[in-house]
Amino acid sequence: MKGPIDRRTFIRTTATAGIAMGVAGRSTFAGGISSPNQRITVAVMGVNSRGDELARSFASQTDVEVLYVCDVDSRAVEKTSGTVFEIQGKAPNGVTDFRRALEDADVDVLAIAAPDHWHAPATILGLDAGKHIYVEKPCGHNPDEGELLVEAQGKYDRVVQMGTQQRSGPSTIEAIDFIHQGGIGRPYMARTWYANKRGPIGSGKEVPVPDWLDYELWQGPAPRTPYRDNLIHYNWHWFHRWGTGESCNNGTHELDIARWALGVEYPERVQSSGGRYHFDDDWEFYDTQMISFDFADEKTITWEGRSCNPFQVVGRGRGTAVHGTEGTVIMDRNGYEVYDLDNVLLKEVKAGDDEATLDTRGGGNLTDRHIANFFDAIRNQADLNSPIDEGHKSVLMCHLGNIAQETGRPLYVDQGNGRIVGDPQAMKLWRREYEPGWEPTV
């Protein structure tokens, strides 16, 4: 195997071979593929947790082959490669650097489940290489990256699906249709929440990088910092340098459903309160947060995040309640309930056990259905359930909530593009600093 390549070398290499790579990808996939039965090949980037579930699901799809398993953790590569082999009967290529897979013209799809700071840069590199993209939420580490992804999808004309898999759940689709058909009158408010019992992450110490980890590549677009012992895996979620906090980590799912139910796009005002209340440790984001979003058409969405207190709301650890002039719909991945204005239960729909995936890895039929929809869009030009332009709007809500929390004041938003108006200080948080040479561009 060739030695490591940096981003500049990679861009230069793909630019030199760009015509050949583009023809290999686009002659087959221009808007779809030449045959609905053609086998699609996938590279999965980041397979320690959620990515392992994605690899399982991709390998289980009809006429799909996981060709590459990519991770900076050699242990994860070995584990997921074995899992994929058991499912498809053929071992994938296990690599540390996902860019090796992008160099391979036989790869049709890049699936991204690496940490948040990698989502947008990897998506853009994948699109530039002619690949279709399945990217986990949040689609960007900051609002600017979400805008770049929408621009990049338009430029390269590839299929880009964001991993908000509840949009592909039959019971959720049924509940949203019921709301849109006037089942609870005019919907005007949605309440969303997430409650968990996360423990402390302690105070990290600088230690040598483990021999199983390529920490330089793990950092990728993020400015360099010494390795600490309470960072990898998962705790990166709570650091500004790599993560996006609980609102983007889990709030994205429920806020996406709420926005879909109310039929709204950009809020006109956003405000947030909360903090890191439960433990005194290195956690930089907030374990307790309340965000409210007011929309111009007299509609409101709220999100309540409690990372360290699992007390449930209406018997659910996470969910969405949509209130209207004639009743309420309460939904989560387990199904939905309809109540009238006297709080009488009118209807209850339960999803099957294999649909109800409330675990942190998110496996199960919701993911399988979401990926199947992704392939249907590639093969048959079907409508995506979570196209990147819609995904960006939902993720932007979470970013706006975090910016409002950081500035300590309400934000006012341009209804045309979702950008903050009249607050130059807040707009300084629209974009991040990058490691030199890793700035994503379209």
pLDDT along the chain (442 residues), means of 10: 38 32 33 62 96 96 97 98 97 98 98 98 98 98 98 98 97 98 98 98 98 98 98 97 98 98 98 98 98 96 98 96 98 96 97 56 76 97 97 98 98 97 98 97 95
Contacts with 266 (C-beta within 8 Å, 6 or more apart), sequence order: 295, 393, 396, 413, 414, 415, 416, 417, 418
Q: Which residues partner with 228 through β-bridges? A: 206
Contacts with 388 (C-beta within 8 Å, 6 or more apart), sequence order: 135, 139, 149, 150, 153, 160, 161, 162
Backbone angles phi, psi at 274, to 5 degrees: 145, -160
The last residue of a domain, from among 106, 141, 165: 165
Q: Give the residue among 39, 107, 114 at the shortest CA–CA distance from 70.
A: 114
Q: Looking at this protein, which amino acid is placed at residue 53?
A: E
Whether residues 146 and 220 share a domain: the answer is no
Q: Which domain holds residue 400?
A: 167-203+216-359+388-427
Whether residues 183 and 135 share a domain: the answer is no
On whether residue 353 sits in a domain, the answer given is yes
CATH number, domain at 423?
Answer: 3.30.360.10
Contact, 176 vs 190, CB < 8 A? Answer: no
Whether residues 193 and 288 share a domain: the answer is yes
**Burial level of 366, CB count in 10 A (0-12/13-18/19+)?**
buried
Contacts with 15 (C-beta within 8 Å, 6 or more apart), sequence order: none
On whether residue 70 sits in a domain, the answer given is yes
CATH number, domain at 118?
Answer: 3.40.50.720
Q: What is the pLDDT of residue 250?
A: 97
On whether residue 377 sits in a domain, the answer given is no
Q: What is the pLDDT of residue 351?
A: 86
The structural domain count of the chain equals 2
- Tokens of residue 292, six digits: 């409210």
Whether residues 123 and 54 share a domain: the answer is yes
Whether residues 236 and 89 share a domain: the answer is no
On whether residue 210 sits in a domain, the answer given is no
Whether residues 291 and 151 share a domain: the answer is no
Whether residues 195 and 333 share a domain: the answer is yes
Q: What is the pLDDT of residue 130?
A: 98
Whether residues 397 and 274 share a domain: the answer is yes
On whether residue 381 sits in a domain, the answer given is no
Q: Ramachandran region of residue 364, left (φ > 0), alpha (ψ -120 to 50) or beta?
A: left
On whether residue 68 sits in a domain, the answer given is yes
Q: What is the pLDDT of residue 37?
A: 58
Name the DSSP class of 316: B
Indicate whether this model's pTM tops 0.75. Answer: yes
On whether residue 441 sits in a domain, the answer given is no
Whether residues 261 and 186 share a domain: the answer is yes
On whether residue 75 sits in a domain, the answer given is yes
Q: What is the pLDDT of residue 38?
A: 84
Whether residues 132 and 174 share a domain: the answer is no
Whether residues 236 and 142 share a domain: the answer is no
Whether residues 151 and 177 share a domain: the answer is no
